Homo-oligomer: A and B are copies of this chain.
Amino acid sequence: MSEVRIIPLEGIPEVHAGDDLASQIMSAAQRQGLAFENGDVVVVTQKVVSKAEGRIVDLGAVEPGEFARQIAERWEKDARLVEVVLGESARIVRMDHGVMICETKHGLICANAGVDSSNVERLGTVALLPVDPDASAEAIRQGIERPAGVSLAVIITDTFGRPWREGHVNFAIGVAGMEPLRDYMGTFDPAGYELKVTRMAVADELAAAAELAHGKLDRVPVAVVRGYAVPEGCGTAKSLLRDPEKDLFR
């Protein structure tokens, strides 16, 4: 096994709606003297993807409904923000202590349906998740692969909390150029046991690893993971979502 490197990509400028993220990533890599290689995994935080795709909402233009106003009053929240969260939700999974754990239209389960008011450019605006993070990842992949002449994977990440555990970690919400799960089904350890842990969510592990290079304040929205042999394939982040029938914590 060889070493895995997590290389932060610095100097990505503030991203605006309509920006070509793949070009910006290529330019930043060139300035840094980084040439993309076959097998690189480019890990991009959701926030810059949402900005580039214009997924920013001005709260001043939001008219909260009655339910949003009730929730906001009870928990001292901004009713317009609650309205946006409800609009992004397919289902409320839990609602207590002023926390809203929502299932997004993508099937992701996270606080506030992924609506985020930090690290947006202007006060009074919030960022929504990309409409189709797998498609976002695929567009970035193609936008880098063609000029760079290499084959690579792209992961779009977001920062979620977890049941039972304190602190947040980054998860893969969009994937292109790889399978997000590594399957050990049917493989046997040296003692002859079939491995019980049959699938590792390597895209989530890559997302978490890249966060070590992103940081939250350092404006490093892109990191390149090099030296890790991703599971080959054309998977999407949808295969990271558990079938509701098999989930004990719906």
Task: Show the binding face of A for B, using Cβ within 8 Å.
Answer: 1-8, 10, 94, 96-97, 99, 101, 109, 116-123, 159, 162-171, 180-181, 184, 187, 189-197, 199-202, 204-206, 208-209, 211-213, 215-220, 225, 228, 239-242, 246-249
5 contacting pairs across A/B (C-beta < 8 A): A4-B213, A119-B195, A165-B204, A205-B212, A212-B225
Picked from B101, B200, B247, the residue with its CB within 8 Å of the CB of A167 is B200
| Max chain B C-beta neighbours (<10 A), residue from A97, A170, A212 | A212
Given A167-B201, A169-B204, A187-B216, 14 more pairs with CB closer than 8 A: A3-B213, A6-B209, A97-B248, A118-B194, A118-B195, A162-B162, A164-B249, A165-B171, A165-B242, A166-B239, A167-B204, A169-B201, A205-B208, A212-B228
- Note all chain B residues with C-beta closer than 8 A to A209: 4, 6, 205, 208-209, 212
Least distance between A19 CB and chain B CB atoms (Å): 17
CA distance A215 to B97 in the complex (A): 39
Contact: B123 with A189, CB < 8 Å? no
Least distance between A31 CB and chain B CB atoms (Å): 15
- Note all chain B residues with C-beta closer than 8 A to A118: 189, 193-197
Picked from B117, B171, B197, the residue with its CB within 8 Å of the CB of A216 is B197
CA distance A166 to B246 in the complex (A): 10
Closest 8 CB pairs of A and B: A167-B201, A209-B209, A163-B249, A208-B208, A205-B208, A4-B6, A94-B248, A1-B8
Contact: A163 with B200, CB < 8 Å? no
Contact: A119 with B169, CB < 8 Å? no
Contact: B101 with A217, CB < 8 Å? no
CA distance A94 to B106 in the complex (A): 26
